[in-house]
Structure 1
Amino acid sequence: MGIIKFFKNQLSQVIEWDNQNPEILVYKFPSANDELKNASKLIIGPGQGALLVYEGKLTDEITTEGIFDLETDNHPFITTLLKLRTAFESEHKLKVYFYRTSENVNQGWGTAQAIKYVDPVYKIPVELGANGSFSFAIADAKHLFTNVIGSADKYLVADARQMLQSRFPQGIAATLAQSGVSYQNIDAQLPQLSQMIKDQINGEVAKLGFMLTDFKLNGTMFDEGTKERIDRIANITADNLAAGEGGLTYVELEKLRALRDAARNEGGLAGAGLQFGVGMEIGKTFDTIRNDQIDSSSTDPVLKLQQLKLLLDEGIITQDEFDQKKKDWLSRF
């Protein structure tokens, strides 16, 4: 039985990765004792490559599709291997690892933790989540096998996807900070940002032996703290526009609002002045704005009417006061 088994093990063999599972990225050809058999043929199919590990060393890589006769084909490692083999000695071990060269497309991704950066326009801290899709391929199979996979019999697409996604948050944060794109313009520039993020991340994943062939940023979602900061900015922006329409500055409008709120507090203006730290200064500002800007005869009546409407809307003056001032200014046309 021993002699029969010995010769049976030396019969020619076809080494190929048939029925390739799309979820497997790297696959070791199964062999009981990893012996190279006489006249074996190695078949490399479309979308495949092969790594040959001889005596524990990564010795060669085959990336060309076709059938290779391990006894006669003039491939660098195969030729060297034939010189080493003597009388089918079993101590000479060969392992064949097939790998997928075609793209792994439409891989969904999403951030597990918030991406943090400082908005380049408003200088506020921003935290957001993001999602999208990407495609990738093996760029350097030898590097990937040596530094990432090791001697594992299988390496799955899911394993690569998880490892690649862990590099995304840092690349996205760096791109958003460097691009000069404010949070409010992200959705309008998704295609441009996607390309920039892809370029940023590719520099990192190349160190693993991969490359991103496609990357899409499909959407973002801000955390509650960022939403509150954005809302405050939106309110200030709206107020600034409203003040400008009325011929006032934002600071002047805020001072008038403080005076209005102080007047509504129990205890009158004096008590409110102490409470808010505005005191007589706000009163002076109010007098200046109302007397110099509203009653000035050198000012455009249309502008003054706009100011009056703003003060009415803010509750700083009453409807009666507005009506009286409106009559005064209309009489100047």
Structure 2
Amino acid sequence: MSIMQSLQNQFRSVIQWDDPREWEMFRKFTDKGDELKNASKLIIQPGQGCIFTHEGKIEGVFDEAGLYDLQTGNAPFITTLKKVLNAFESEHKTALWFFRKADTVNIRWGTRIPITYNDPVYGFPVSLRGFGNYSIRITEPAAFFARIVSGQENYYAHDLQELFLSRISQPIAAYLANARFSYAEIDAHIEQIAKDAREKTTGVFEELGFALLDFRIEGNSFDEATNQRIAGISDVQADAKAAQLAGVNFSELQQLKAMRDAAKNEGTAGAGMGMLTGINLGNTMQQPNTPETDIKAKLGKLKELFDEGLIDEAEYKEKKKDLLGNW
């Protein structure tokens, strides 16, 4: 190859970002050791942009896809770039950073510490965690480059993830604490919570030069202490419902359960408890004959007590026989 051909090849150098890595947001042009001053063309692919710096200052931003001829200088920015490239021998005085203009989707977020507030229904403190994803698009690349990237050769979405997470956690936590959704209401209101959380965090993204395209909540969880409290309440509610179905009050139901447990745990002594249970059951059943206490209702209540395990099979059969014998 002749010296003339070598020089021609130098001045035919093309700058482009032809191998963007997954989740890469910014990359400084350093391809193959080419000197920036020898470039003749700049190619911006769809979904890309480019920032030009000189002597530590941003001189311009390419924000439209296309082929730019750096030799002709047919636009004010190109003319400035062309003059700079021709005036300096060292590539280190000028630089180009490509950046991603396309949407960046499915960036993960999650609360790092539980959000604690008093449940408005149950009255005790609950600790809630949430997680999901969001999508963004850069709108102010020069401002973000100057404030955050600050000359780094590479900047990735995971860097953004940490940056945004550190800033959106507080407004999300404040919103949930003030909204005070009850334990049982969270799942039913998940879409509304996601919508409200997006509104609360949009300003954080805009301040850093990004548009928030969507914000999703994929799931939530409560801490173990909260789950145990709710389980205890559920057990009591189930007992209250069983008492209602059996036609006894809650206190009587608890007595029946205690007798049943004693019968299981105390062997022969439990037999006496079983007899006492039968006596109490008889007292319950021997109420004045009203539309609410006719034979069908009594048999139904008797069956419910048996199904609940409050009386054993022998007691059930004996009492059923008595009821049918008296009918």
Alignment TM-score, normalising by the size of structure 1: 0.67
2:271 aligns to what?
none
1:327 aligns to what?
286
The 5-angstrom pairing of residues 156-235 of structure 1 reads: 156-235=156-235
1:88 aligns to what?
87
1:37 aligns to what?
38
What is the alpha-carbon distance in structure 2 between the residues aligned to residue 205 and residue 230 of structure 1? 37
What is the alpha-carbon distance in structure 1 between the residues aligned to residue 121 and residue 74 of structure 2? 62
Report whether the alignment pairs 1:151 with 2:167. Answer: no
Q: Structure 1 residues 122, 328: closer, same or farther in 2, change over 3 A?
A: closer
Alignment TM-score, normalising by the size of structure 2: 0.68
Give yes or no for contact 1:25–1:156 (8 Å, CA) kept in 2.
Answer: yes
Structure 1 residue 319, shift from structure 2 partner:
4.4
Quote the sequence identity (%): 33
1:314 aligns to what?
254
Unaligned 5+ runs, structure 2: 257-275, 294-327
Structure 1 residue 318, shift from structure 2 partner:
5.4
Structure 1 residue 206, shift from structure 2 partner:
2.4
SS across alignment from 1:117 = strand
Q: Structure 1 residues 52, 154: closer, same or farther in 2, change over 3 A?
A: same
Report whether the alignment pairs 1:71 with 2:71. Answer: yes
SS across alignment from 2:214 = strand
What is the alpha-carbon distance in structure 1 between the residues aligned to residue 120 and residue 75 of structure 2? 55
Give the letter for the 2:289 counterpart: L
SS across alignment from 1:128 = strand
Q: Structure 1 residues 210, 125: closer, same or farther in 2, change over 3 A?
A: farther
What is the alpha-carbon distance in structure 1 between the residues aligned to residue 230 and residue 290 of structure 2? 44
Structure 1 residue 148, shift from structure 2 partner:
1.0
What is the alpha-carbon distance in structure 2 between the residues aligned to residue 240 and residue 328 of structure 1? 21
Give the letter for the 1:37 counterpart: N
What is the alpha-carbon distance in structure 2 between the residues aligned to residue 24 and residue 154 of structure 1? 7
Name the Cα RMSD after superposition.
3.5
Give yes or no for contact 2:115–2:177 (8 Å, CA) kept in 1.
Answer: no
Q: Which has the higher helix share?
A: 2
1:292 aligns to what?
none
SS across alignment from 1:102 = coil
Structure 1 residue 73, shift from structure 2 partner:
4.4
What is the alpha-carbon distance in structure 2 between the residues aligned to residue 238 and residue 86 of structure 1? 80
What is the alpha-carbon distance in structure 1 between the residues aligned to residue 199 and residue 94 of structure 2? 38
Give the letter for the 2:227 counterpart: K
What is the alpha-carbon distance in structure 1 between the residues aligned to residue 45 and residue 213 of structure 2? 22
What is the alpha-carbon distance in structure 2 between the residues aligned to residue 102 and residue 14 of structure 1? 22
Structure 1 residue 15, shift from structure 2 partner:
1.4
Q: Structure 1, residues 33-54: CA drift from partner, whole Å, max 9, x if none?
A: 864337x211110110111112
Structure 1 residue 311, shift from structure 2 partner:
4.2
